[in-house]
Amino acid sequence: MKEAIVVVKPVSAVTANDLFSSDAIIVGSPVYWSNMAGEVKTFFDNWQFKFGVYPEFKMRDKVGAAFSTGGGYSNGKELTMLTILSAMLGNQMIVVSGGGAFGASATTEGDSPGINKYEYTEAQTLGRRVAEVTSLVKEGQQQRMSP
């Protein structure tokens, strides 16, 4: 597999060019009442209103994935990832999981705040899976374009 180039940005700094020039995106959010944070929701709203993604589905066939962080072991992290993945599916993206069933997550409060070894491995697994699937998608797209 080829080397992947990774750019990390807060959603408030992402531009239309960032979206359209990327082959894949991984979006994360802290848990806010079992949902993505308002700033992340605004990011997805901006896909239409600021970046003009829809109605042409300009993110179609790009690979997407999600991660979340939360204060407790079971406080809505999976639901938060599902809200992110739902926004991606609505834009006809190819969503993948890895690490956990819906993406990667971390518990950031409690006895040992921060990301533990298991959560770190889960995040690495998600990143590797996104890179692998993106490579397969790009190969398929290139084959379709070849005479």
CATH 3.30.430.20 fits 11-139, yes or no: no
Residue spans per domain, the chain: 11-139
Output b/e per residue, 14-40; b: 16+ Cβ within 10 A: beeeebeebbbbbbbbbbbeebbbeeb
**pLDDT, one tens digit for every residue, the chain (147 residues):** 578 889 999 999 999 999 999 999 999 999 999 999 999 999 999 998 899 998 899 999 999 999 999 987 768 999 999 999 999 999 999 999 988 889 999 988 766 667 889 999 999 999 999 999 999 999 888 777 777
